């Protein structure tokens, strides 16, 4: 269970880790506690599975990648197989089964358009794929998963 | 543009961040560069927007947000920017994109909602519909997470 301290630590640590020599000391100051307590608690929260990862959130476009969202209609009996092929691409970061006719949705990051189209063409031709819709973004308004824990 | 050292830094920063008092000194040592060089470049990535944020990614199920819903909306072209800006400020909306529609799929605007339960997600969507005046939307609840990872840039 998360203590009140854990929640305030998690609220801060989701966005405010700085590029300074002792980043956890700065977090500790905000929480009026010690650097050691912050570090130990973060280790605990990571081991317990509350924290998936600590690190930078990159802007894929600024790093020269292109991204898209793809929706598929896949025949039920082929779903696991098709999902497996999709998962094999390292540029696929999210692959979710969803309750709709378009029942498999994944995001794909690629170094260029040619590579993206090659991958989509392969997936489009897999057995069991009835329909594939490529849905690239035209405008990004928000990308920030942040849970305010109360 | 990114030079070879930038790419090495980006690759190593995607690995487990050391939970020690001076994490950047440890990372710099592994890279064979000075800590100041590393911190300088990381600050530049943030100023230029290559890094949007630095911090922890939580497992939303464990922290109580078990339900997430991708909502697809039909938004008149001339209202996309207005609504995009409005919903971007909404704490319950984690992702908000305009996307092209396709034949047989008229939806052109997407919001990702996180909540404790599916019912909560529905209430959130109805509230957004009321506030924006948008009537046509569909909620796409996830039933199985086949893959969810952070992107590994420059690994190939």
Identify the closest residue of chain B to A95 by CA–CA distance.
Answer: B147
pLDDT by position in tens, chain B (length 156): 899 999 999 999 999 999 999 999 999 999 999 999 999 999 999 999 999 999 998 887 777 777 889 999 999 999 999 999 999 998 889 899 999 999 999 999 999 998 888 999 999 999 999 999 999 999 999 999 999 988 889 876
The model's pTM: 0.87
B87-108 burial: b if 16+ Cβ within 10 Å, else e: bbebebbbbbbbbeeeeebebb
Chain B residues with CB-CB distance to A59 below 8 A: 49-52
Once rounded to an integer, what is the mean pLDDT over residues A35-52?
Answer: 95
User: Which candidate from B65, B140, B153 shows the least CB-CB separation from A98?
Assistant: B140
Residue B44: the pLDDT is 97
CATH code of the domain occupying B60-141: 3.30.70.3460
- Asked if B101 contacts B42 with a C-beta cutoff of 8 angstroms, the reply is no
Element (H, E) at B146: strand B137-148
Comparing A49-53, A106-110, B95-99, the range with the smallest average pLDDT is A49-53
Residue A123 DSSP symbol: H
- Cβ–Cβ < 8 Å for B142, B102: no
Contact B10 A58 (CB under 8 A): yes
Residue of B80, B151, B156 to mutate for A, most A C-beta atoms under 10 A: B151
* Per-residue tokens: B30: 């592994």
Domain A60-136 architecture: 2-Layer Sandwich (3.30)
Q: ipTM, 2 decimals?
A: 0.88
Using a CB-CB cut-off of 8 Å, the residues of chain A touching B16 are: 53-54
Residues 110 through 129 of chain A touching chain B, CB cutoff 8 Å: none
- Cα B142 off chain centre by: 17
- What DSSP string runs through A25-66? HHHHHHTTS-HHHHHHHHHHHHHTTSEEEEEEEE-TTTTT-E
């Amino acid at each position: 269970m998360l203590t009140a301290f854990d929640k305030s630590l998690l609220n801060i640590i989701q966005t405010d880790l700085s590029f300074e020599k002792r980043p956890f000391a700065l977090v500790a100051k905000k929480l009026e506690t010690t650097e050691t307590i912050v570090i130990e608690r973060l280790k605990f929260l990571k081991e317990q599975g509350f924290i998936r990862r600590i690190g930078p959130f990159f802007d894929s476009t600024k790093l020269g990648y292109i991204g898209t969202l793809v929706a598929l209609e896949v025949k039920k009996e082929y779903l696991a197989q098709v999902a497996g092929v999709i998962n094999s691409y390292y540029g696929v970061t999210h692959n979710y089964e969803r309750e709709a006719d378009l029942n498999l949705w994944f995001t794909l990051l690629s170094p260029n358009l040619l590579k993206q189209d090659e991958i989509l063409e392969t997936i489009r031709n897999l057995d069991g794929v009835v329909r594939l819709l490529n849905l690239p973004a035209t405008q990004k308004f928000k990308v920030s998963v942040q849970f305010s824990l109360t | 543009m990114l030079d070879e050292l930038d790419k090495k830094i980006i690759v190593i920063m995607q690995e487990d961040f050391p939970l020690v008092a001076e994490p950047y000194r440890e990372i710099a040592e592994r890279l064979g560069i000075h800590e100041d060089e590393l911190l300088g470049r990381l600050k530049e990535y943030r100023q230029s927007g290559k890094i949007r944020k630095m911090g922890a990614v939580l497992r939303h199920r464990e922290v109580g947000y078990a339900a997430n819903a991708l909502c697809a909306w039909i938004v008149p072209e001339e209202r996309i920017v207005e609504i995009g800006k409005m919903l971007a400020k909404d704490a319950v909306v984690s992702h908000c994109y305009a996307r092209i529609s396709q034949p047989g799929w008229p939806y052109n605007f997407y919001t990702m909602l996180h909540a404790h339960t599916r019912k909560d997600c529905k209430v959130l969507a109805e509230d957004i519909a009321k506030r924006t005046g948008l009537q046509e939307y569909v909620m796409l609840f996830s039933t199985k997470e086949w893959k969810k990872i952070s992107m590994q840039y420059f690994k190939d």
